[in-house]
Structures are given as C-alpha cells and as structure tokens.
Amino acid sequence: MKLDHVFKKTTHDIPGTFGARRDRLPEVPEGLLKKCNKCGRAIIAEEAKKAGYICPRCGGYFRLHAYRRIERLADEGTFEEWDTDLETVNPLELKGYLEKIAALQEKTRLHEAVVTGCLQIDGRKAVVAVCDGRFMMASMGAVVGEKITRAVERATAERLPVIIFACSGGARMQEGIVSLMQMAKTSAALKRHSDAGLLYISVLTDPTTGGVTASFAMLGDIILAEPKALIGFAGPRVIEQTIGKKLPEGFQSSEFLLEHGFIDGILTRDAMKETLSKLLTLHSAFDSKGPVDGKESAEEPADTNASDPVSEDGDPADLIWNRVLTSRMMERPVGPDYIEALFTDFVELHGDRYYADDPAIVGGVARFHGQPVTVICQAKGKNTQENIARNFGMPSPDGYRKALRLMKQAEKFHRPVICFVDTPGAFCGIEAEERGEGEAIARNLYEMSCLKTPILSIVIGEGGSGGALAMAVADEVWMLENSIYSILSPEGFASILWKDGKRAKEAAAIMKLTADDLYRLGIVEKVFEEPSPYTAKTMSGVIAKLDGQIAQFLALYGQKSAAQLTEHRYMRFRNM
Amino acid sequence: MIKKILIANRGEIAVRIIRACREMGIGTVAVYSETDREALHTKLADEAVCIGASAPSESYLRMDNILSATIITGADAIHPGFGFLSENSRFAGLCEKCNITFIGPPSEVIAKLGNKQEARRTMKAAGVPVIPGSSEPVTDWREGAKIALEVGYPVIVKAVMGGGGKGMRVARSPEEFENSFQTAKAEAENAFGDGSMYIERFIEHPRHIEFQILADSYGNVIHLGERDCSVQRNHQKMIEESPCVALTEELRREMGTAAVKAAKAAGYVNAGTVEFLLEKTGRFYFMEMNTRIQVEHPVTEWVTGIDLVKEQIRIASGKALSCRQDQVRLSGHAIECRINAENPKEGFRPSPGVITDMYLPGGKGIRIDSAIYSGCTIPPYYDSMIAKLIVWAKNRSEAVCKMQSALGEVIIEGIDTNVDYQYEILNHPDYIAGNVDVDFIDHM
C-alpha cells in the first residue's frame, strides 16, 4: 500500500488556539552549533569542547588555542608565562605588517604566535612552548624564534625538560631572512639542551610545515603527533603544483609520518597529559638502590647446565633438531610477551627517523623494578596474520636503525638496554638491500661496542646470524634452554656447505647452535631452563628467574663506569 | 502559542502524537531516518524531514539534526515521545536555549530525576517512602553487612554502575551476606570495572504500580490513578492495566498523595509517572519517576477520559490543568497488551521484516495504537513494539474477556509476533484472577 498524499491535512481547518503569543521565535543562538571544518557537518559546540575540541561526528581535531592547551596540560595554577614583552620586528620594512600584528594582538589577545613558560605536570616541572595558529598561522618570525630559544636556554640552565607543541605554517615570510635564521637559532639552542643530557619532547599538531618542521619540530628526543595532523616540509599544494600529480590520500598525515619512521607515536588528546607525564617521570632522576632488595639472594642461580627435558637416550642429532624445531614453535612466547611480563610503564617508541617504522622490532622505554630502562625486542607474531604484519620477526634495515636510535637515546639518559633476540635472520629482500641491510647491521655492531650504558641481550627463540648479533653486542648474552644461536640457519648452512638444504638436521647436529653448546663455548653467560611445553601461559617460572637475574645484572653493571663497561664489552668479544 | 510541533520520534507514539495535533489544529513535522522514509508517521505528518541514517545514533538521537529540522520547518515545539531523547536533559536544555518548547519537564528536573541517588534523596526529604538502603556506595563487605542489618533482611546488593541484571545478588540472612556481596562485587568489577555497591531491602514479589501525574506551570499537580504493570518479562512490561485490583480506595488515595508529593518535591511540570513497588502487605516504596509520556498511557486515558498527549501540549503552552483532583474519576477497567515483532519460541528474538498482510480487531471498547500497515517494513534498528491493543469494559473480568477475544482476532503476516504468547497470559488462571506480581512471567 502506498501512502503518498493520501491523508487529508487538518491544520487549515481548525484555528490554533493554544497558549499566549510568544515574543521570540525559535532560533539557534549564536555559538550553540558550529560547523566542523573537517567534515562540514553541524555539531554542538559544547559537545566538541567537552571532547577536547574534537568533532563528535568525524573525530577531527580542531586547533587548540595555546592557553587552552596549557590549561589542559598544566597542574592548576602552575603555569608561569615568560617573555611577553618582545617586540615584533619589521626587517623588510613591509607596509602594514606591524599594523597587522597589532590588530592580531588585539583580536587574539596573544602577544605573538607562541606562548612560552614553565609549568608542572603531575608535579613535574617542565618548560613549555605552545604555538597558536590564530596568530599569522603561527609562523616563525624573530619573536617566535627568540621566545623558543630563550625558553630552551633557560631550560638548559635550570636543567628542565622541554615540551614544544608545534603548529605552524613555517618561517614567517614577512620577516624574510631573519625568519630563516630562527631555524638555525632554535636548533642550536636545542642541541645545547640535548648535549646537557636533557629531554625534549616535540608534539606535532595540525599543521606543522615548512621551516618549523625543518627545525625545532623534528628534533625531539621523542616526537609525538596528534591524529591526522598535516605534517610536512613543503605544503601539499606546492608539491602538487611542482610535480604535476595528485597526492595520495593521507599523504603528510601523522599516520604517514609514523609509517615512515619520523615520529614515535600518535597521541590522542585525552591521553596527552597522562602520556607526557609518564614520559617525564621515566626521564627524571632515578635513585638506584643498588642490588634490589633481597631479591638476588632469594633467586636460584640460573641453570647454567640445564638438564635435557627430552629423554637422554636416542640419536643426539634428533635431540638437537628437536631444539631447533622448539625454538621456532609458534606457541613460544614472543618478544612482546617478555616486555609485558617483566616491565611496567612501557611506552613504545616508533621509527628510525630515516625511512620507516619496522614492525619486526618493538622498542621503547619502560621500568624494571622501578628503574627506567630501554627495552627492545625482535618481535615475531603469535599467529600467521601477526607474523605477516611483523615480517616473521625478520628486521629490515629500518628496524636495526630504530634499535640503534633507541640505544643512543638510552645512552643519553643513562638507561640500561635490554634486548630480546628472536629472529630467523635479517630480512632478505630487494628493499632491504636497497636501504643497506649490511650497513645497518654493521653500524649496530660498531656503535653497540662502545655504548656507554649496560646492555643485556637475551636470546629467547631463534638467534639467526648477523640479524641476531646486531642486537647482541652486549655485556652479557643469555639464552633460553631451547633457543638457538648460529652463524646461519641449519638449512642455509647445509645448502652452502653441502649444496643440500635438506641436510639441515645433520647440519644442526654439528653447528653447535644449542644453548648448552654455546655456554660451553663461552659465547653466552647464562642458560635458563624451560618448562614443556613453553608458551605464554607457562612462562611464569622463566619470568621469575629472568626477573631475579636481570635485577642482579643491573645492580652489577650499573656500578661500572662508562670506561669499564666499554672495556669489558670490548674484551668480551676481543677474546672470541 | 504552539502552532507547529516537531515529533522527535517514530512508530506508534509518533503517530499517536500526530493524531492529537491534527485534532487540535496544530501543524506537524515528522522526522525520519533513511529507513523510515515510508513509515506511517512520515506520511501522516504535514511535513517530514530526513535526519540521517538508520542507526538511532545517526538519526533519532542526533540532537543537532533534530534542532536544525525544527528551525528549518519553523516548528515552535518538540514532542520527544518516549525512548530516544525523551529523558535527555541535555536535549531539553538545548531546546530551551533555542527557544523551542520542549513538551516535557524543564531540563534541570529531568537531570535531577535521572540521577537515581539524587531522586532518592529528594523523595526521602519530601516524605515519600523509599526502599530502605545505603545512601552511599559501599565497597567493603563488612561495612555492607552493617548496613544490611539496619535495612533488614532480605537485602539485595546492586552494582552502582549496574544494568542488565549483572552485579546483583540477594542475601536472605546475615550468613549469606558475605558470599552474596563478594560475588556481586566481583561480577560488577568484571562487567563495569567498578566494584562499588548499594545495599537495599529486597522487596519480595512486589507489584509494579505507577501513578500518572499531571502538573502545570502554576504549581497544580494531580494524579490520574494507577497502572498495574506487573506483567513483565526481563523488566520489559508486557501488559498494563488500570485500575489495579490490589488497591483499595484508601491505598489509592495514599499512594496518589505520595505521587503528587513526589512530583511537587521535584518541581515537576507536564505529564510524568511515579513508579512504586507495592508489597503484599500494602507497603509501597518509590522506585523512580519517568519524565515522559509512557507507552501504557492509553489505559489511564480510557479510565479517566483525559487525553494525556493533548494535556501535555496544553501544559507546554502555558495553560493551567483542565481539571482538579476531585474531578478525576476512574471508571471501568482498561487493559493494554504490547504487540512486539519477536518470536517467543526463539527466545523472543526480534523479527523484523515486511508485514505482508494484516487484520486488526475493532468494535466497542477496542483501541489500537500502531504505525503498521499492510506492506510496511519493520526495520531491525529500533524497538520491536509495533502495536498496542487496548480494551475497555465496565469491570476487569469483562475487560479480560474482551482482550482475549480481541487478541484472538489479530492477524499479522510476514513477521513473527508475541500475540499468541499474550493470548496465553490472558488465559492463565492467575492472570484472570488478578493474582500477579513482577515474577509472574518467570513462574508462569
């Protein structure tokens, strides 16, 4: 049955008689509704505000005014603003420029395009600079450069961390070459701050482009970004015009940068304060109380002569081959399982800052018994799908470069490094060669040998060749009972030596790749017994042992000077 | 003056409201989701505006779209019906800000009554009996046990964040308390991540009795008698009737007075419902106040002769109540059966689809409020109630017979309904005897 235009209207027949005449007609008062500038839909302004200036319809992030951002970040009443009296200069003597600045000051009630000062986040003091896009698109002229530089210098002098929220169209054209020089000036100030061993967190917001991207924005020890922000050097329109091509969807977005290894992570607004607070605490002074309270004596020494869980009789080649297969079992705990079980407050940091973020390597900052550490693992997946995403734990050059970047960061902040090795080998492919897999591995061996902080590497599954060694130039290397560590996979070994990959079992028998063999050879310091079957569910016993031993390791090596550490590490390999 | 009303709802209640407006000469604007393009309310209204996609969150719950539709069509009031935005104080507040008359109580009253603890406090202070229990959340069982003793056994332990029957346990004696408390708490922690609990006297086998209230902006408040909504499945009402056989004239006066007091204490304006639990002993307790028109309002309309929707519109227009308490007379007996598109044989699974053919009963004392027609589609996105069958007769037994007869006439083809299930209830000896409580369906 169709109901179109079948019902008779009644409204014109009976006069409306209800209520007194109203003097005001229904209308939406000014400011109640807003149009989202991302999705174009109408939204209730109050709702967007409550959500942290995020569109409730499309999840798009609106630009935050500088003071609002500070308000959301600072402990109440702790923000102290600095340098509000610098005067905008007009080096090009542009007509109307200073008038425009004055008008903007009037309109925005901002002094210039950046607000600087110090504040406390959960009681931790930090220096902060926040760009405000309402003021000349937060472009960097002399005042912006000067304010940031002064803030960073003061942070260096007072030994405080710096957090900069970048949002900018780039260097300010109106101030010409003087603006360009601000890039060098701010970068130089940050270099001194970094050389003083201090933390700089850069938070990129929509949009961060041009000379700001090419200076202070990209220099953070840790670089975070808000979701879907436009971040790039040249603006997308300029690129399109130059190359005469349409840019792909998502080009120059935060997500694009994460994938390309240039930022450590994407941070939603509601997680901003908590994460920054966590990072500040992880980078604040930690008083090591030496050997961790009573733990070491309670722990059994590691099973350096692990008894074989497989029956002793039978063909030794079978037993060894069994271990090879066990080391590769998909059910075995993977790197992230160890991070989860042994550490707290883990914050994953992404990217090599050159080309990509390699999912085959997971690393970041965490705490071990309260002590900040850098933890890096080669990460296999728990199922086929995860394994495809993680490239079966075979790192690309980007992965090794990320690992090295995190190790260098650990060195700067005097954090020990703990590595979990589990890889069939470095990724073997065209792209890997193009980007220098060999160079990346070599660089790690080279740099790790003299890293001025303790390094511990634990082989938890497969220790495949150079790909494994690139995370195992350590003060001590430990192995799990059924893990293996070798020059090459038995398959590869057989194929090179005997031109027959099928003789892998035979090869394994002579390669001395088991934990037991390697312990006897003095290649590794400790071996840890495993339950059978060994899975994420049955790993608690191993974790307890590791926990005790890592605590002892940190206590022992934590006391050594940088020179002692590097000498010890040098000699460890010198003698092999 | 209200000249045009936008009905921010769908289904039978939207149609019900449009009909009242048509009779009053008020223009109507329907809003509809993409799925409801051919729905009866869309077609019956003078104008109709599409407000979004099928999911309620994209249409009937979209405050901004509904406000825009109101402004564009020049409507001066919004009737929210029930469900959707009807008890959303933020929505009512936005209407107030836009100078749109929200046909219901003021936003702050909705907010106050929507907060369970605050509503409880308000009622207690006004001398309306509330279920004895803890006024603050409890997390420790020992502390809970102390409160339980004060409250008196049996008690029910309820999660503060609770819902869907999770995190609820009855303890009949002090010996049972620790176990009940800890079990409920663990369940609550699992389900809601919060183990704070309330402890309340457990009312055994109560009737669900509610009083219809009308209040104007001049402080006049009257009640229109009660509805017995004890026949419930999973806390969903199935059959409602007025009056309730268990109420003496004296108890009706006592409960009615309490309901009026409750409405006054809350500063209530417009039509509302005060819900009580009634013990076999005749003791009753305030449960909550619903700040909207109810599904079951027709039974009250029939026994009082008052059109509640028209009365809502009159009140919202600033008129005084059209009658005094002493003019309210309950006459005869009315029963309502909710007809749902669901399959009782398959665990009451919703049964959306196209109604290929239908025949609905009529005659003296039969009313059907519905939005279905032959060939219409019941979409899967919304409540499964598709029609209400209401009967009226001089007394309850005649009304029951009439309902039995009417249910036996209903034909709805193409989808499954609960008509046969309702028919069974109507023929159950306990129901016929009026011997029901909220656990009736469970024990049937």
Radius of gyration of chain B (CA): 22
Q: Residue A296's pLDDT is what?
A: 41
- A457-508: pLDDT as tens digits: 999 999 989 999 999 999 999 999 999 999 998 998 999 999 988 899 999 9
- B148-159: pLDDT as tens digits: 999 899 999 988
Q: How far is CA B434 from the centre of its chain?
A: 21
A263 and A331 both lie in a single domain? no
Q: Which residues of B touch A15 (CB under 8 A)?
A: 25
Last residue of a domain, which of A45, A62, A79? A62
Judging by beta carbons within 10 Å of its beta carbon (0-12, 13-18, 19+), is residue A527 exposed, middle or buried?
buried
List the Cα angle B325/B328/B333 in 5-degree steps.
145
* Closest residue on chain B to A27 (Cα): B98
Q: Residue A291's pLDDT is what?
A: 39
Whole-angstrom Cα distance, residue A514 to residue A522? 12
Is position A447 within any domain? yes
* Residue A250 belongs to domain with CATH number: 3.90.226.10
Whole-angstrom Cα distance, residue B424 to residue B405? 12
- The enclosing H or E element of B388 equals strand B385-393
- Residues A18, B2: C-beta atoms closer than 8 Å: yes
- Residues A26, B98: C-beta atoms closer than 8 Å: yes
Across the interface, of B71, B75, B317, the residue whose CB is closest to A28 is B71
State the pLDDT confidence band at B349, using cuts at 50, 70 and 90: very high
- Residues B22, A10: C-beta atoms closer than 8 Å: yes
Average the pLDDT over A181-197 and give the result. Answer: 96
Q: Residue A17's pLDDT is what?
A: 46
pLDDT above 90 covers a percentage of chain B that reads: 88
Q: Residue B164's pLDDT is what?
A: 57
pLDDT at residue B141 tops 50 = yes
Q: Which residues of A touch B74 (CB under 8 A)?
A: 25-26
Is position A26 within any domain? no
Across the interface, of B67, B97, B99, the residue whose CB is closest to A25 is B99
* Closest residue on chain B to A11 (Cα): B25
3 state SS of B392? strand
A424 and A340 both lie in a single domain? yes
A309 and A240 both lie in a single domain? no
3 state SS of A187? helix
**Polymer length of chain B:** 444
Q: Residue A438's pLDDT is what?
A: 95
State the pLDDT confidence band at A289, using cuts at 50, 70 and 90: very low
A527 and A551 both lie in a single domain? yes
A115 and A160 both lie in a single domain? yes
Whole-angstrom Cα distance, residue B389 to residue A420? 70
**Domain locations in chain B as residue ranges:** 4-103, 141-201, 207-443
Q: Please say whether the beta carbons of A138 and A208 come within 8 A.
A: no
pLDDT above 90 covers a percentage of chain A that reads: 73
Q: How far is CA A105 from the centre of its chain?
A: 37
Q: Residue B196's pLDDT is what?
A: 87
pLDDT at residue A32 tops 80 = yes
State the pLDDT confidence band at B163, using cuts at 50, 70 and 90: low
A222 and A361 both lie in a single domain? no
- Residues A27, B99: C-beta atoms closer than 8 Å: yes
Q: Residue A24's pLDDT is what?
A: 67
Q: Residue A57's pLDDT is what?
A: 83
Judging by beta carbons within 10 Å of its beta carbon (0-12, 13-18, 19+), is residue A250 exposed, middle or buried?
exposed
A128 and A50 both lie in a single domain? no
- Residues A26, B373: C-beta atoms closer than 8 Å: no
Average the pLDDT over A400-428 and give the result. Answer: 95
Average the pLDDT over B211-233 and give the result. Answer: 96
pLDDT at residue A558 tops 70 = yes
Range scoring the smallest mean pLDDT among A285-289, A393-397, A401-405, B56-60: A285-289
A140, β-bridge pairs: A171
Alpha-helical segments (H) within A249-332: 254-259, 269-282, 295-298, 316-327
A235 and A334 both lie in a single domain? no
Whole-angstrom Cα distance, residue B154 to residue A417? 59
* Closest residue on chain B to A16 (Cα): B25
What is the number of helices (H) and of strands (E) in chain B?
A: 15, 22
Whole-angstrom Cα distance, residue A275 to residue B283? 55
A118 and A53 both lie in a single domain? no
Q: Residue A14's pLDDT is what?
A: 47
Assigned token pair, A3: 């109901």
Whole-angstrom Cα distance, residue A286 to residue A273? 21
State how many domains chain A has: 3
Average the pLDDT over A286-290 and give the result. Answer: 53
Whole-angstrom Cα distance, residue A485 to residue A503? 18
Is position A2 within any domain? no
Q: Terminal CA-to-CA distance of chain B, rounded, Å?
A: 51
Whole-angstrom Cα distance, residue B42 to residue A444? 70
Last residue of a domain, which of A227, A247, A282? A282
- The enclosing H or E element of A189 equals helix A176-195
Q: Kindly report the number of other CB atoms within 10 A of residue A142's CB atom.
A: 21
Whole-angstrom Cα distance, residue A48 to residue A51? 5
Range scoring the smallest mean pLDDT among A41-55, A428-442, B311-325, B340-354: A41-55
Q: Residue A313's pLDDT is what?
A: 63
Is position A352 within any domain? yes
Helices A335-342 and A540-558 sit at what angle, rounded to 10 degrees? 70
- Residues B319, A19: C-beta atoms closer than 8 Å: yes
Q: Residue A292's pLDDT is what?
A: 42
Is position A296 within any domain? no
Q: Report the catalytic residues of B.
A: 292
Q: What is the DSSP letter of B234?
A: T
pTM of the model: 0.74
* Closest residue on chain B to A26 (Cα): B99
Check CB contact of A10 with chain B, cutoff 8 Å: yes
Q: Please say whether the beta carbons of B247 and B284 come within 8 A.
A: no
Whole-angstrom Cα distance, residue A445 to residue A404? 10
Q: How far is CA B260 from the centre of its chain?
A: 18
State the pLDDT confidence band at B23, using cuts at 50, 70 and 90: very high
The long-range contacts involving B28-32, CB below 8 angstroms and separated by at least 24 positions, are B28/A11, B28/B4, B29/B4, B29/B5, B29/B69, B29/B70, B29/B73, B29/B75, B30/B6, B31/B6, B31/B7, B31/B59, B31/B60, B31/B65, B31/B66, B31/B69, B32/B59
List the Cα angle A209/A212/A213 in 5-degree steps.
60
pLDDT at residue B383 tops 50 = yes
Q: What are phi and psi of A112, to 5 degrees?
A: -155, -170
Whole-angstrom Cα distance, residue B356 to residue B412? 8
| DSSP assignments along B95-138, one per residue | HHHTT-EESSS-HHHHHHHHSHHHHHHHHHHTT--B--B-SS-B
Q: Residue B433's pLDDT is what?
A: 95
Q: Residue A16's pLDDT is what?
A: 45
Q: How far is CA B166 from the centre of its chain?
A: 22
Check CB contact of A11 with chain B, cutoff 8 Å: yes
Of the CA atoms within 13 Å of residue A349, those in its CB half-sphere come to 26
Q: Residue B195's pLDDT is what?
A: 84
- B33-57: pLDDT as tens digits: 999 999 999 999 999 999 999 999 9
Closest CA to B127 of B347, B363, B285: B285
A249 and A330 both lie in a single domain? no
Which residue is associated with the tokens 């900040």?
A: A372
A418 and A508 both lie in a single domain? yes
Across the interface, of A7, A9, A17, the residue whose CB is closest to B43 is A7
Judging by beta carbons within 10 Å of its beta carbon (0-12, 13-18, 19+), is residue A171 exposed, middle or buried?
buried
- Alpha-carbon separation of residue B112 from A450, B36, B95, B265 (angstroms): 67, 33, 17, 11
Q: Residue B248's pLDDT is what?
A: 95
Whole-angstrom Cα distance, residue A20 to residue A48? 36
Whole-angstrom Cα distance, residue A184 to residue A216? 9
Is position A423 within any domain? yes
**Polymer length of chain A:** 576
- Please state whether A422 falls in left (phi above 0), alpha (psi between -120 and 50) or beta: beta
Across the interface, of B64, B71, B97, the residue whose CB is closest to A43 is B64
Q: Residue A310's pLDDT is what?
A: 44
pLDDT at residue B338 tops 50 = yes
Domain membership of residue A262 as a residue range? 63-282
Of the CA atoms within 13 Å of residue B99, those in its CB half-sphere come to 12
Is position A371 within any domain? yes
CATH-assigned architecture of domain B207-443: 2-Layer Sandwich (3.30)
Q: Which CATH number fits domain B4-103: 1.10.3720.10, 3.40.50.20, 1.10.357.10, 3.30.56.10?
A: 3.40.50.20
pLDDT at residue A36 tops 90 = no
- Residues B22, A24: C-beta atoms closer than 8 Å: no
- Residues B94, A44: C-beta atoms closer than 8 Å: yes
A238 and A182 both lie in a single domain? yes
Question: Quick one: fold of B141-201?
Answer: Dna Ligase; domain 1 (3.30.1490)
State the pLDDT confidence band at B194, using cuts at 50, 70 and 90: confident
Q: What is the mean pLDDT of chain A?
A: 90
Last residue of a domain, which of A39, A62, A85? A62
Across the interface, of A16, A28, A33, the residue whose CB is closest to B25 is A16
Whole-angstrom Cα distance, residue B312 to residue B21? 11
Is position A22 within any domain? no
